[in-house]
Amino acid sequence: MIKFVEKYVKLLAFHPEDVVVKIGNQTDDFTEILVYANKIDTGRIIGKNGTMIKALKTLISGCKAKNKINYKISVNINEK
C-alpha cells in the first residue's frame, strides 16, 4: 500500500524527489499513512475541494475488502 501511495503522489508532484511516504500510528482500528511533500505540491496532492485526496482515499478504502485493514491518510508539508 505504501508503494502505491508513494508512486501516485509522486506522479502528481512538481518535486517528486521531496515526497516521502511512511507508516504512522498503527492500531487495531486503522493504519495511518503519512505523506510528506514540498509546500508547493500540497495543493496538487489535495486537489480542488479535496478531490485528489478523496480519490486516493477511495482507492485505498477498497483495499479494506482484501486485507481487512482501514487506512487513514495524512498530508504533511516539508518546509524547504
pLDDT band at 29 (very low <50, low <70, confident <90, very high): confident
Domain locations along the chain: 2-78
| Cα–Cα distance measured from residue 74 to residue 36, given in angstroms and rounded to the nearest whole number | 9
**Is the CB of residue 32 less than 8 Å from the CB of residue 21?**
no
- Mean pLDDT, rounded, for 26-32: 84
| Cα–Cα distance measured from residue 1 to residue 24, given in angstroms and rounded to the nearest whole number | 13
The reported pLDDT for the residue numbered 79 is 57
**CATH architecture of structural domain 2-78:** 2-Layer Sandwich (3.30)
30-75 tens-digit pLDDT: 888 889 999 999 889 989 999 998 898 888 887 776 677 788 878 7
Q: The C-alpha cell of 70 is what?
A: 482501514
* pLDDT above 70: residue 13: yes
The reported pLDDT for the residue numbered 19 is 92
| Cα–Cα distance measured from residue 26 to residue 80, given in angstroms and rounded to the nearest whole number | 28
